[in-house]
A and B are shown apart, each in its own frame.
Chain A
Amino acid sequence: MSLTRNTAAELGALIASGEVSAVEVTQAHLDRIAEVDPQVHAFLHVAAESALEQARSIDARRAAGEELGPLAGVPIAHKDVFTTKDMPTTAGSKILEGYRPPYDATVTARLREAGLVIIGKTNLDEFAMGSSTENSAYGPTHNPWDLDRIPGGSSGGSSAAVASYQAPLSTGTDTGGSIRQPAAVTGIVGMKPTYGGSSRYGVIAFASSLDTPGPFARNVLDAALLHEAFSGHDVMDTTSIHAEVPPVVEAARRADVSGLRVGVVKEFAGEGYQPGVLARFREAVDLLESLGAKVVEVSCPSFTYALPAYYLIAPSECSSNLARFDGMRYGLRVGDDGTHSAEEVMALTRAAGFGPEVKRRIMLGTYALSSGYYDAYYGSAQKVRTLISRDFEAAFHQVDVLVSPTTPTTAFPIGERADDPMAMYLADLCTIPANLAGNAAISVPCGLAEEDGLPVGLQIMAPVLGDERCYRVGAALEKAFEDRWGGPLLKEAPSL
């Protein structure tokens, strides 16, 4: 069997034992990329040479008797929003075309320290703004389950790469669901850690109070291993939490829910939810109950205001963060021909360099923050944020975790929502509350929707710094589902 079908944990063990070399594993994935990425378009940049060089160095260190970590030599696809000093970093935008950052993001540096082999940078919605990867300036990524459909977003290149066996692991960032939603619609695992649990240093900023790096993998244990490898306090990120990384790997191995109290969020059902998604969700909840969990319904009334609050808070922060793209110090510069002032050059550069969704959000945020509107929009959204935190707090007095569908629908066709921003925003309906409150949340596969045969994700939300609960419940469900399905859900995906 091809090495691209192994899990990351298996590959790490095979490399550690010397049964296969890191170079062989890397080459197998580079071959797979050459074979299928022309159809999928998960990658914006494939770093074949540096990946093989890094793999050779891992093999040499192992041969010299060095003790290496559990993921040493394992290939990883890296979302192109993390700075990498040896590869281009574009954030999916024309304004950063060809940009080479002078420093590594903390997550990038920690991947390297763990011996992970970065095989390339993955496609994303421009500046991580979107739910479909259609907003990338470099063209959309295609869902491996159906190439005419979206792979989710914004981390759609990372989800598609893992779901099509081009990499066993990938990184993402989750601001309103940008890891969990792509994981759900491609049938893989995606985790948003507690806000501040993973470093934002070197993550090209979208909405700083929400942006959270996290892992993608084809199973829960692999996601936990990657989570552990790059998380933890970072002095370079002032919002990084000064606490131990929650015991996520241990929890993924424990995979037991007996006696655990599970709350079903009452508000996340009904109109707008695809019947096949709700059916799979209810089946997963029944399965948890049969595994010994105590299931109750929990009401979080403010969650219905999370989406509008998010689409004020995130654009407000982005309008400020993206002011740095002024064409002066790096990136694109347009109109510098001696006839335009600096201010005109900035406006021409930004008009040429940003795509429509980014422009929409910058103007929306500028509107929400402008005097006269600030209290009604940004101010009210911040109050909703308080209400959502209170709902979570009250819920976690009654239960240990909350569950919901990850997304209201399965993957939609490419182009279907491109001209309707509000319809696109609904893809994040269930994932946003955890971002606004900073909670940990994971998406795990829970089957295929009957009407279209596409993957459905179950979201498990845990309290701040309770990340291990997501893995514990996710792993228990995964085990029970795989017993029922006779293997992982991905084996049902059409071969590419």
Chain B
Amino acid sequence: MSAITRDEVAHLARLSRLALTDAELGHYAAQLDVIIGAVARVAEVATDDIPPSSHALPLTNVYRPDEARMSLTPEQALAAAPAVENDRFRVPRILGEEA
């Protein structure tokens, strides 16, 4: 189908939250183009009358009893955090200066 351009890779990288260099954009564009060209074959046999399968087993809506259970303590949950403040995950600013 379509050839993958550097601009498309830049768009995919932005959607994927991956900061790529210019050199990487070109590198991945070439590789993704080959891969996508090869996997596009699936369309050859995927006719309208075939239902899609998202899963190997016929399972739907699996529930367990809604019972309170022990969970992680704040100390355990925060133990691997890159930054902690007042028993919470400290994260970089989310809103812009003007917000």
Q: Which residues of A contact B (CB under 8 A)?
A: 99-103, 195-196, 209-210, 235, 238-239, 241, 302, 305, 308-309, 311-312, 319, 323, 326-333, 335-336, 338, 340-348, 350-351, 354, 359-360, 362-364, 366-367, 370, 376-377, 379-387, 389, 421-422, 435-438, 464
On whether the beta carbons of A209 and B51 are closer than 8 Å, the reply is: no
Q: Is B23 an interface residue (CB 8 A)?
A: no
Instruction: Report the bound CA distance from A363 to B18 in whole Å.
Output: 9
In the complex, what residues of B have CB within 8 A of residue A366's CB? 12, 15-16
Instruction: Report the bound CA distance from A335 to B82 in whole Å.
Output: 12
Interface members, chain B 11-52 (any A CB < 8 Å): 12-20, 28, 31-32, 34-36, 38-47, 50-52
On whether the beta carbons of A367 and B32 are closer than 8 Å, the reply is: yes
On whether the beta carbons of B57 and A464 are closer than 8 Å, the reply is: yes
In the complex, what residues of B have CB within 8 A of residue A100's CB? 79-80
Among A336, A354, A384, the residue within 8 A (CB) of B46 is A384
On whether the beta carbons of B57 and A364 are closer than 8 Å, the reply is: no
Instruction: Report the bound CA distance from A322 to B44 in whole Å.
Output: 30
Q: Is B62 an interface residue (CB 8 A)?
A: yes
Which label, helix, strand, loop or mixed, suits the secondary structure of the A interface?
Answer: helix
In the complex, what residues of A have CB within 8 A of residue B19's CB? 344, 347-348, 350-351
In the complex, how many angstroms separate the beta carbon of B65 from the nearest chain A beta carbon?
Answer: 9
On whether the beta carbons of B92 and A340 are closer than 8 Å, the reply is: yes
On whether the beta carbons of A305 and B17 are closer than 8 Å, the reply is: no
What would 28 A/B residue contacts be, using CB atoms closer than 8 Å?
A: A102-B77, A235-B64, A239-B55, A305-B44, A308-B40, A312-B39, A329-B81, A342-B94, A344-B92, A346-B17, A354-B18, A359-B20, A359-B28, A360-B31, A364-B35, A366-B12, A366-B16, A367-B4, A379-B46, A382-B52, A382-B54, A383-B42, A383-B46, A383-B50, A383-B52, A384-B45, A422-B35, A436-B56
In the complex, how many angstroms separate the beta carbon of B76 from the nearest chain A beta carbon?
Answer: 4
On whether the beta carbons of A359 and B57 are closer than 8 Å, the reply is: no
On whether the beta carbons of A376 and B1 are closer than 8 Å, the reply is: yes
Q: Is B59 an interface residue (CB 8 A)?
A: yes
On whether the beta carbons of B17 and A326 are closer than 8 Å, the reply is: yes
In the complex, how many angstroms separate the beta carbon of A244 from the nearest chain B beta carbon?
Answer: 16
**B16, B20, B81 interface centre (most CB from chain A within 10 Å):** B16
What 0/1 pattern do residues 55 to 77 of B give for CB contact below 8 A with A? 11101001010000000100011
Q: Which residues of B contact A (CB under 8 A)?
A: 1, 4, 8-9, 12-20, 28, 31-32, 34-36, 38-47, 50-57, 59, 62, 64, 72, 76-77, 79-83, 89, 91-94, 96
Which label, helix, strand, loop or mixed, suits the secondary structure of the B interface?
Answer: loop
In the complex, what residues of A have CB within 8 A of residue B47's CB? 383
In the complex, how many angstroms separate the beta carbon of B15 from the nearest chain A beta carbon?
Answer: 5
On whether the beta carbons of A351 and B18 are closer than 8 Å, the reply is: yes
On whether the beta carbons of A386 and B53 are closer than 8 Å, the reply is: yes
In the complex, what residues of B have CB within 8 A of residue A385's CB? 52-53, 56
On whether the beta carbons of B56 and A464 are closer than 8 Å, the reply is: yes
On whether the beta carbons of B80 and A387 are closer than 8 Å, the reply is: no
Known: A238-B62, A350-B18, A366-B12. A387 touches B50 (CB 8 A): yes
In the complex, what residues of A have CB within 8 A of residue B93's CB? 341-342
Among A302, A319, A363, A376, the residue within 8 A (CB) of B43 is A376
In the complex, how many angstroms separate the beta carbon of B13 from the nearest chain A beta carbon?
Answer: 7
Q: Which 5 A-B pairs have the closest CB atoms?
A: A438-B56, A382-B52, A380-B46, A333-B82, A330-B80
**B8, B9, B46 interface centre (most CB from chain A within 10 Å):** B46
Instruction: Report the bound CA distance from A385 to B50 in whole Å.
Output: 10
Among B12, B44, B72, B89, the residue within 8 A (CB) of A363 is B12
In the complex, what residues of B have CB within 8 A of residue A308's CB? 38-42
In the complex, how many angstroms separate the beta carbon of A95 from the nearest chain B beta carbon?
Answer: 11
On whether the beta carbons of A239 and B57 are closer than 8 Å, the reply is: yes
Closest-by-CB residue of A relative to B56 is A438
Instruction: Report the bound CA distance from A342 to B47 in whole Å.
Output: 43
Among A209, A319, A331, the residue within 8 A (CB) of B55 is A209
